[in-house]
Amino acid sequence: MLLTTSCTAALEMSAILLDLQPGETVIVPSFTFVSSALAFTREGARILFCDIEPETLGPDPRHLAELLDDTVRAVVVVHYAGVACDMAGIREVLRDRPDVAVVEDNAHGLFGRWRDQPLGSLGRFATLSFHETKNIVCGEGGALVLNNPEDVDRAWVVYDKGTDRRAFFLGQVDKYSWRDTGSSFGLADTLAAYLLGQLEQRETIQAKRRAVYEGYLEALSPRADELGLRLPVVPEDCEPAYHLFHVILPSHETRTRVMGELREEGISTVFHYVPLHDSVAGQRFAARTPECPVTSDLSSRLLRLPFHNNLSAGDIERVADSLMRSLERG
């Protein structure tokens, strides 16, 4: 694993390591952060935008199968909110395509698990984020996880500004020189030291976040159906990373109204992602005209509730009550 300046930088490294050629494409969910696609376009790839399946909000294997053609070199998978996407379905679709790399954008999923395997161990590459908005933070930071030993040597060169500096430090060469493409991808030691402190507190942090997540579930579950509120779905073989708590509201209009009413009560809620396939750059870099109707629908109705390590049981109750009262008024 290489510590990088951000998850975006780690995605950029994975794009370089894929050695993308003109005309090649990468499949990326439309429902994700810009960097999941941006990193590959910078290496010249065009993007095939994949729709999501409505339970985990991860890439839909059925749409993936439709998109897969000879130009595809990689598939980016996102474990939204820290819950594994349908990895079994995705692996099944890719069963006869060992040439297609899986890149796990695991910005949300550190410490989550799928079938008892850690998220971040399932693709050829996996990327992590330690941005201040994540569970484990150092301001700005990330990591590239290399799950294929054959990538390690070249990854060090790309990481070290295209030089074999690591081989020099290991005494394998008598001087270091320019060998390949690359950049200055490494995280500063001072930030790495902060990150170590965070990782030492990992159990405390994860336990607090789990309590917030379960607090919302407990408060909202009894009335969710009646109020048309869809709560997060966690498939049986998944252990969440408790990154965020989202709900799906009955309509876009309801979301706009509910956000306004909660704001008046001093409760700040947010939404995401603005679908990439509809964005100006998404259309510019798309390999074909993208159609992602589930992404468009769900992203217009999704609402993220306040979520941080020190949210108290009282805070959770107040948010949940206000949300339910607002929905009753609809």
- The residues in 7-26 that bind ligand PLP, with binding defined as CB under 6 A, are 7-8
Residue 251: count other Cβ atoms within 10 Å of its Cβ: 13
- Judged by beta carbon, residue 80 or residue 216, the one nearer ligand PLP is 80
Q: Smallest distance, Å, CB 34 to ligand PLP?
A: 8
Going residue by residue from 93 to 112, which x/- string records binding to ligand PLP, judged by CB under 6 A?
A: ------------x-xx----
Interhelix angle 252-264/313-329, nearest 10 degrees: 130
Q: Smallest distance, Å, CB 308 to ligand PLP?
A: 15
- The residues in 123-162 that bind ligand PLP, with binding defined as CB under 6 A, are 129, 131, 142
| 50 contacts ligand PLP (rule: CB under 6 A) | no
Q: Smallest distance, Å, CB 119 to ligand PLP?
A: 12
**Long-range CB contacts for residues 120-123, cutoff 8 Å, separation at least 24:** 120/145, 121/145, 121/147, 122/77, 122/84, 122/87, 122/147, 123/77, 123/147
| 78 contacts ligand PLP (rule: CB under 6 A) | yes
Which of 14, 30, 32, 163 touches ligand PLP by CB under 6 A?
Answer: 32
Q: Smallest distance, Å, CB 7 to ligand PLP?
A: 3
**Residue with the two structure tokens 């990330």:** 142
- Judged by beta carbon, residue 141 or residue 290, the one nearer ligand PLP is 141
Cα–Cα nearest to 287, from 28, 39, 97: 28
Return the ∠ at Cα 24 (arms to 143 and 183), rounded to 5°.
Answer: 35
Which of 14, 25, 30, 35 touches ligand PLP by CB under 6 A?
Answer: 35
- Judged by beta carbon, residue 105 or residue 160, the one nearer ligand PLP is 105
Q: What are phi and psi for residue 80, nearest 5 degrees?
A: -60, 135
- Judged by DSSP in three states, 194 sits in helix
Which of 25, 30, 36, 299 touches ligand PLP by CB under 6 A?
Answer: 36
307 forms bridges with which residues in the sheet? none
Q: Smallest distance, Å, CB 246 to ligand PLP?
A: 13
Is the separation of the CB atoms in 139 and 132 below 8 Å? yes
Is the separation of the CB atoms in 75 and 64 below 8 Å? yes
Q: Smallest distance, Å, CB 113 to ligand PLP?
A: 18
Q: Smallest distance, Å, CB 140 to ligand PLP?
A: 7
29 forms bridges with which residues in the sheet? 50
Site residues (vs ligand PLP, CB under 6 A): 6-8, 32-33, 35-36, 78, 105, 107-108, 129, 131, 142
